[in-house]
Amino acid sequence: MSRPSLVPRCRNLFNPAFTQRRRLTLHEHQAQDLLAQYQIPVPRGHLAATPAEVAFSVTSLGGNAVIKAQILAGGRGKGNIANGFKPGLRLVSSADEERDVSSTMLGQRLFTNETPSEGLPVDKVYVVEQLAAGHPFYLAITTDRTKACPVLVMSKGGSSAFEALTAAREPKSLVKAPLDYAKGVTAEVVSTICETFELHADSEHLTALLHNLFTFFKERDATRIEIKPLLRESTTGRLVCANPKVSIDNAASKRQAQIFDLHDRSQDMAVELEAEKYGLVYIQLEGNIGCLVNGAGLAMATNDAVAYYGGRCANFLDGGGQATKETMMKAFELILSDKRVNTILVNIYGGIIRCDMIAQSIIAAAQNFKDIPIVVRLQGTNAAQGQQMIAESGLKLHAVEEFGSAVQKAVELAGPSSATTRERSTPSREVLDEQENISSQQPIHSFARSSCPWGEQNRLAATQPHR
């Protein structure tokens, strides 16, 4: 039986501040350096950490440059610096301008619509040559999960135009081409792009650029490459990949060790770094209900259900397959380090690890957090025994078997969130029904059959029991 997707309803989980934690995201200057290694045309630029270095860089680029704050979030063009200066990138054409801009950016925190509430530190800026901009395009290679293959996306007008076209559902205004992993960008794909965007004169350069971009995507285990924008310079006619965004699959950290060494931990929250030490994944959200789950799919479903019943999650904490006393204690400590949290919801499916063992770990850890009510919902092997142990613990642990009831209990105990209440999503009874049968159903995400040679293999892998 086909299962409804939860993805459209999990709005806040697809905020870039959330999703970037699931993969390695690189700074703009790092992405440009890597792309240049694959003969992909990028603007000239220099990284600078002091006003003096900025001045030297601007001079070496001919006196006209763009100074860009380096943070791992988008929206810099509309962002605000903590000292009132804005935005997070500026055009400069004189020494006075350069000194003013660099001194007000460096050492400050930048706030955009994609940063955490406390902003992100600007320790360095990227000084880039000003390009004689002609026609901008949005270009990306990412993964189409429904077809289990890479997909190339291109539209006119840069990223903002792409978002507008997507929202308006105008497929004829953009190209979305699934790619065969073995064949890469074919002549047919290039021909379609040239025909759609009238780039016949650039077909040779475009072919080389797209081939090199896909080679980078494949060899470097990328999950996303975005060029925002791809520019055709008005003076030279060359195609240039400006402002690239690159994300690398976390699972490739050993194979891509040199790239992962580039990870800028100054951009990470301290609590997320602490969680990483214990094999946990912690991402802060905006509510007052702490959530401890195992598996990203179950976490998204839990977050969606909490929002449906009028609550808001304070975090996403994925405990994976770990359920020791020490791990549970650390998970609770991380959740309660957020002073907004006044209730914890534990929603765990015990597959390999038995639910009675999970219950023992929860009870042992909860001894140290007796003032916080904890709602526990366990499903899977020995779930009944585990739920009984929770109910008879004598602590402020609430054992609730049914998914919707567990969420409702947590929302009731938490009371109103300190954050502004979000508009509820479309009634999602199917979400709750789905989670009630999680122990006997396939994982939430499944790949459709596709023309990709390895799509069927991935589709079958996705239907195996979740581990």
Contacts of 59 (CB under 8 A, 6+ apart): none
424-444 in b/e form (b: 16+ CB < 10 A) is eeeebeebbebbeebeeeeeb
Contacts of 275 (CB under 8 A, 6+ apart): 281, 282, 317, 330, 334
C-alpha angle 53-56-57 in degrees, rounded to nearest 5: 85
Torsion of CA 421, 412, 445, 386, to 10 degrees: 160
Query: How many Å apart are CA 395 and CA 418, to the nearest integer?
Result: 26
Q: Which long-range contacts (CB under 8 A, 24 or more apart) does 187-191 make?
A: 189/152
Strand partners of residue 345? 291, 375
Strand partners of residue 399? 376
Q: How far apart are the first and last CA of the chain?
A: 21
Q: Phi-psi bin for 27: left (phi > 0), alpha (psi -120 to 50), beta?
A: beta
Give me the catalytic one of 138, 278, 282, 349.
Answer: 138
Task: Tell me if 112 sits within 8 A of 78, measured CB to CB.
Answer: yes
Q: What are phi and psi of 95, to 5 degrees?
A: -65, -40
Q: At what angle do helices 187-197 and 203-219 cross, to 10 degrees?
A: 130
CA of residue 212 relative to chain centroid, distance:
25
Q: What are phi and psi of 290, to 5 degrees?
A: -75, 135
The enclosing H or E element of 426 equals: none
**Is 401 marked active-site?**
no
Give me the catalytic one of 129, 226, 282, 286.
Answer: 226
Q: Which class for 192: exposed (0-12), middle (13-18), buried (19 or more C-beta within 10 A)?
A: middle
DSSP assignment, residue 80? E
Q: Token digits for 384?
A: 């009944």
Q: Token digits for 273?
A: 């770094």
**Is 138 marked active-site?**
yes
One DSSP character per residue, 41-72 reads ----EEEESSHHHHHHHHHHTTS-EEEEE--S
What residues are labeled active site?
Answer: 138, 226
